[in-house]
Amino acid sequence: MRILTTLTLITGWTILTLNPTTTTHAQTNQQQQQQQPLPAKPPPGLHPVKPEGIRDPQAERILKKMSDRFSKLRSYQVTFELKMDIPDTDQDEIRQGKLIVQGKRFRFEMDGILVVCDGQTKWQYLRETNEVQISDYLPEEQVFEPKDIFALHHQDFYYMLQGEKTVRGQPVYVIELTPVNRQESYFKIRMYVHKKRLIPIYVVIFEKSGTRYYLTVNSFIDNVPIPDVLFTFHPEAYPGITIVDLRE
């Protein structure tokens, strides 16, 4: 399963990761004001056990509950910050993004990139070139599925529960995962899962190249009403746009 790590949605552009404070629709504004960012490093006191070749039953139960939780949601909306720590560079790269999911439909926005899908057709728009690519949406052929950020297909990983911690006042499970497929560009994922809400509130991805990705979810709203218009791309809103139709 090729997820997270470098998610190439548009040639030459890459996108990635997340962490959340979960809210109900009515509580969103209040909790956004009160939330605090999670640390970029694991909490002190953890002594990681490598999960290579191991499928820990405790971790498996948590991952399955997460998957079940998201499969029952009518919709959810996430805002997030993605930090990329690249070796041999003086400055970290930080991007802000937004993800909206309703069944097979989704809308993903991040720093000039917009990906919209109505469940049958996918539009990938790059603001820098004012170009949109249109393709048929075939889930089995996708490198990236939005729901994979929150509900990993745990059969594609070995995993180990590293402990239970309190991170910035939030009780979390700390789970480390390694991919079964050794050809992946990353070798480990460290996931912080809220114990009650069963949502990954912080994710760190370790690339073989030495790059690390830190995903922090700033807000998470489930079962929020979402207008259908958000799941369709409207070229008329982009004067001079170039349209590349890749559908057969």
What local confidence, expressed as pLDDT, does residue 33 receive? 39
Q: What CATH number belongs to 7-29+46-222?
A: 2.50.20.10
Q: List, for residues 197-229, the tens digit of each pLDDT value.
A: 998 989 999 999 999 999 988 889 999 899 999
In this prediction, residues 10-19 reach a mean pLDDT of 32
Q: Read off the pLDDT of residues 124-144 as tens digits, 9 standing for 90 and up.
A: 999 999 999 999 998 777 655
pLDDT of residue 49: 55
Lowest mean pLDDT among 11-25, 87-101, 131-145, 234-248: 11-25
Where are any strands of DSSP class E within 11-90?
13-15, 22-23, 76-85
The pLDDT-based confidence of 71 (bands split at 50, 70, 90) is: confident
Check residue 52 and give its pLDDT: 67
Residue 11 in this model has a pLDDT that exceeds 60: no
Q: What is the pLDDT of residue 143?
A: 57
Q: What is the pLDDT of residue 156?
A: 85
With a cut of 50, say whether residue 35 has pLDDT above it.
Answer: no
The pLDDT score that the predictor gives to residue 145 is 60
pLDDT attached to residue 7: 39
Contact indicator for 66, 161 with CB cutoff of 8 Å: no
pLDDT in the model for residue 155: 78
pTM score above 0.85: no
Higher-pLDDT residue of 56 and 139 is 56
Other CB atoms within 10 A of residue 156 CB: 15
Please tell me the least confidently modeled range out of 154-158, 189-193, 229-233.
154-158
The full length of the chain comes to 248
| pLDDT (0 to 100) of residue 22 | 37
- Max mean pLDDT among 10-14, 21-25, 155-159 falls in 155-159
d(CA 222, CA 22): 8
Place of tokens 């079964």: 180
Q: Are 171 and 201 in contact (CB under 8 A)?
A: no
Distance, in Å, from the CA atom of 203 to the CA atom of 176, rounded to the nearest integer, reads 10
Tokens 């070749």, residue located = 53
Between 87 and 149, the higher pLDDT residue: 87
Q: What is the pLDDT of residue 1?
A: 39
Average pLDDT, the chain: 80
CA dist 130 and 12 (Å) reads 14
